Amino acid sequence: MSTQSGETTGTPIASGRETGGGCPTCRVCAEGTCPGGAEEREPGWWKRPAATIALSTLLLAAALVLELLYPGAVPPATPTVLFLAAAVIGGATILRNAGRAVLALRPDMSVLMTVAASGAFLIGAGGEGASVMVLYSIAEFLEEYAEQRAVRSVGSLLALAPETATVRRGAGEETVHVHAVEVGETAIVRPGEKVPLDGTVTAGESSVDQAAITGESVPVGKRPGDAVFAGTLNGEGYLEVRVDRPYDSSTLARIAAFVAEAQERQSPTEAFIARFSRVYTPAVLVGAALVAVVPIALGLLPPDEAVYRALTLLVISCPCALAISTPVTMVSGLTAAARSGVLIKGKDHVEAMAGIRVVAFDKTGTLTAGEPRVTTVVPFDGHSADDVRRIAAALEARSRHPLARAIVADAAAANIALPEATGFASLTGRGVRGTVEGMEYLVGGRDLFAADRRREFEAEVRALEATGATVVIVGTDREPVGLIGLMDVPRPEAAATVEALRAEGIRTVMVTGDNPTVAAAIAAGLGIDEVEAGVLPEAKADVVRRLREAHGAIAMVGDGVNDAPALAEATVGIAMGGAGSDVAIETADIVLMEDRLDRLVDLLRLARRTQGIVRQNVAVAVSVKAGIAVLAVIGLVTLWEAVGFGDMGLSLLVVLNALRLVAR
């Protein structure tokens, strides 16, 4: 088959299409184990119902022409036969569903339509009866098409990954199906090709477009040691990738599985409407019967007119628009979120996120970068800042401590050449000692220096610590050379995110195990409203519970690992940087796949916009149907108008309103 590099080797590999599966990605669909695509129909699913609708519409139009324009040209029964054929062909699915609902003693919308159309034929209004069935079938088709368009995101996610991978085996390369690649094998990804499986770059450098996973609009540079994900697009470079996960455990496949599951779960509003519909439909049937019987019994209306009004009430009372208003909107919201690199694991979480009043943040790795950086260098008399950096980095280059790595990185960024250090010794828990340029130096905390020497730098150390910095002292036994202040600095977008949340009316809280001084300094710089410092991991859940009781619905943002209890306790648990993190994806209700806080603001606005459209759709559906129902009872609305405007037209309106979420 054709490989991505243009060569032809091997035997064609059957896709899901060829093996009968429902997903375009792979043959595993045929085995029923594919995490996505099961609910998505084949691309041409619409052709048969569209043909049926076209035929029934032609029959309806022909009958209307004969009845209205050429009444004497054909036998009188001909238009009625054509009307009946149009109703049966166009409404075949509706009739089947109605029969099943009656047998199950659970009348639904199809029962309402069938009763209305049948009654219209019985009173001699065959044209209107056929119109009810044909127009209703058109509305159902368009609603299903809209839902399929929204749900299609699952299949399109999986389709991002190539079916085959070029793998180094023996002395050459072999192109195989992605499911035949073993963990630990090396995949070859040439320029312009897609990464076939999750893995780690072992050779080569390139930029990779990760928009499908993280929503990032700018390609990310990759070099040996960096993670790459299935379905992402390699740029201009050549990469060799060690496969770390089989396809069905890849980040892409798991995202698709969660999106598919999320689309199946009901939101509280959906659940309420479903319960309401079970009571509503029988009530409408009883109400329509009363509209027909009471005026006849009291002699207020002739039987045909009373029955006609009752049938019109049945049609307008069909809760299609109400029933689809919430699920189509929620699925559209989930799809829009997935496109921007936000994985929402249920429609209920969209609704909950829209009502959030407080956002609690873990500090390390969430509000901050998660690693210390040099922020301040204070040289003492006779020395420069570069002297302090050079001496400290020369010794710390031999250490693996996180602070040591930060000091060495800072010297490298300043282009400082490091002298050779000899006599190196690590003083556990205190610092390091060694000889640099013929002089023995100490690098570490206060305890490394004699008490009488500490007085020389104590004031400067306390001043730095008051800003939240960790202080490393550089000096000899006789004199201090300088101080280095290090901090786990806030993410570049953290302050803007907090400000944007405040503008949305959200209160922010930092929940951290760090000491109060450091926490207060960082919180003040970011504009955080409240700080809970010195909190042990197991106690974070108690803090979240207390905040929820005090302020209402709360979202907890963390890394999805040590914050798991707090994420579970929150109204909505949100994990940062889920791409490649199994624990983050499994733990949280919502995962920000890209390691960027500003996605949180986008998420909040999307959730609120989604919920706003749900409210719009429900309000419009209820108010319009209620108004037309009143007009139907007093005889000011025809069956044509009821089905055309009050049912099909209204259903299309709420669907189009919902699809605004995915059109952006």
Rounded to an integer, what distance in angstroms lies between the CA atom of residue 664 and that of residue 653? 18
Inter-residue contact 309 to 291 (CB < 8 Å)? yes
Q: How far apart are CA 349 and CA 260, in angstroms?
A: 14
The arrangement of strands across the sheet holding 470-475 comes to: 373-379, 480-487, 470-475, 439-444, 431-436, 421-427
What is the chain's alpha carbon radius of gyration, rounded to the nearest angstrom?
A: 34
The count of other CB atoms within 10 Å of the CB of residue 237 is 17
**Closest by Cα among 504, 502, 508, 468 to 485:** 468
Question: How do strand 342-344 and strand 421-427 relate by DSSP bridges?
Answer: unpaired
List strands edge to edge, sheet with 220-222: 220-222, 206-209, 233-234
Q: Is 448:472 a contact under the CB 8 Å cutoff?
A: no
Residues 494, 370: Cα–Cα separation, whole Å: 13
Phi, psi angle pair for 645, to nearest 5°: -100, -45
Rounded Cα distance between 59 and 79, Å, is 9
Q: Contact, 317 vs 625, CB < 8 A?
A: yes
Residue carrying structure tokens 């001699």: 124
Residue 171 to residues 165, 167, 168, 178: CA-CA distances in angstroms? Answer: 17, 11, 8, 20
Angle between helices 77-90 and 126-151 (to 10 degrees): 20
CA–CA dist 515, 517 (Å, integer): 6
362 is catalytic: yes
Give the integer Cα–Cα distance in Å for 578 and 218. 18
d(CA 435, CA 449): 16
Residue 412 per-residue DSSP state: H
Catalytic residue among 362, 488, 559, 602: 362
> Cα 354 vs. chain centroid, distance in angstroms?
14
Give the Cα separation of 194 and 187 in Å (integer). 11
Active site residues: 362
